Homo-oligomer: A and B are copies of this chain.
Amino acid sequence: MSGHGSGDLRLSSVTKSFESFTAVDDISLTIPQGSFFALLGPSGCGKTTTLRMVAGLEQPTIGTIHIGDADVTSLKPYQRNVNTVFQSYALFPHLNIIDNVAFGLRQRKDGDWKRKAQEALDLVELGHTAKKKPPQLSGGMQQRVALARALVNRPDVLLLDEPLGALDLKLRRQMQIELKRIQSEVGLTFIHVTHDQEEAMTMADTIAVMNGGRIEQLADPATLYEKPASTFVANFLGQSNLLPAEVVSEGGAAENGVVTVRTRDHDDIAVAAEHLPPGIRSVWVGVRPEKLRIGDAGRNRLRGVVTDASFTGVATQYLVRLPWGKELVVVQQNDGSGRLPVGENVTLSWDPGQEFILDQAQDADAGAEIDDE
């Protein structure tokens, strides 16, 4: 508790190597105090390792970590005002639930620990389990206890390592709201690791997408989704239709802010000039499935055949095969309009500006295939 700072969390050129393997590779970022920051990335990309370094459970091989002005890099975990909700819960099996939650408070000699711990437990709707032991609770309940145990300390930085993974949808949504409420009320800095993208997008102010120990892109959720900086981000966050195309306008010159590119099938597509990275002629034109409308309402049109339709409740997802074989994913909200049968010929359309454009030098499948360590 001594020597902790309060303020922005700053990682400077942080690298962590385990013997020959580099789990986290030269990460620098600043997380403003009181913001909700999310880390996304495939399994094994270094998310947990990054959190562990912030918590002090792991020493960076290179680099420094500051909270406010204080360099906490070599502070012991118990000297940092940082708490973690562990991916594996790590509840103390010999202590009952209330004592688990009160652990940090009592460690800091908080006289009011009883009331505070009970409150935190009530918050996660587990007030009635205070006297039980961890093994008597279901996985979801244990996860909520872990959450309460960390929250109750009101740390400067709260690290959440997939804190809601074991909860069912309803409960997860409700906990998300609680977390968000606490965060904005108390002004804690949250760093949240999750594999629920919707969770990251709705909750976080800023999201960092990690890949192989590095940060691929760091932005607010909307930018990340609508202007992914790489095919990896485009594919990892939501679904993307990537069409290979060549810029055909002379010198990439724009007409009314629009540039024409040509697909392999010799369809011309108009894209926003501002989206086109300068100096590149071979591009991926990326269109999100929900931007593709069935019908010819948009200016860019492609024809194809429906090969698959699946109902997901809110929406229906179609696969549409283009004449040259490429399959596009199309999502259509179930707002009452009729569903298309498989085999139907359809026109897909969208307007210029709804796309994003990436350099064709990048691998179109990055982030879409399985990526085992």
Residues of A within 8 A of B (CB): 42-44, 125-126, 128-129, 138, 140-141, 165-171, 174, 195-198, 201-202, 221-222, 225, 235-238, 288-291, 293, 298, 310-315, 317, 331-336, 350-351, 353-354, 367-368, 370, 372-373
CB distance from A166 to the nearest CB of B (A): 7
Q: Which residues of B contact A237 (CB under 8 A)?
A: 313
Contact, CB under 8 Å: B336 / A333? no
Q: Which residues of B contact A171 (CB under 8 A)?
A: 42-43, 370
Contact, CB under 8 Å: A314 / B336? no
A373, B171: Cα distance in complex, Å:
14
Identify 6 new A-B residue pairs, CB closer than 8 A, beyond the known A170-B370, A221-B313. A141-B372, A170-B367, A170-B368, A197-B313, A225-B311, A315-B333
Kindly report which residue of chain B lies nearest to residue A40, judged by CB atoms. B168
Contact, CB under 8 Å: A291 / B170? no
CB distance from A187 to the nearest CB of B (A): 20
Contact, CB under 8 Å: A370 / B174? yes
- This protein's copies in its complex: 2
Contact, CB under 8 Å: A140 / B202? no
Contact, CB under 8 Å: B138 / A43? yes
CB distance from A321 to the nearest CB of B (A): 16
The one of B42, B225, B289, B354 in contact with A170, judged by C-beta atoms closer than 8 angstroms, is: B42
A-B contact pairs, 29 of them (CB 8 A): A42-B168, A125-B372, A129-B372, A167-B195, A168-B195, A169-B197, A170-B236, A170-B367, A170-B368, A170-B370, A171-B370, A197-B313, A198-B312, A198-B313, A201-B312, A201-B313, A202-B317, A221-B313, A222-B311, A238-B314, A289-B314, A290-B315, A298-B336, A314-B315, A314-B331, A315-B333, A333-B333, A336-B350, A336-B351
Q: Which of A141, A167, A198, A293 has the most CB of B within 10 A?
A: A198
Contact, CB under 8 Å: B202 / A335? no
The one of B126, B197, B331, B353 in contact with A333, judged by C-beta atoms closer than 8 angstroms, is: B331
Contact, CB under 8 Å: B368 / A293? no
CB distance from A153 to the nearest CB of B (A): 23
The one of B140, B170, B225, B335 in contact with A290, judged by C-beta atoms closer than 8 angstroms, is: B335
Q: Which residues of B contact A222 (CB under 8 A)?
A: 311
Q: Which residues of B contact A126 (CB under 8 A)?
A: 372
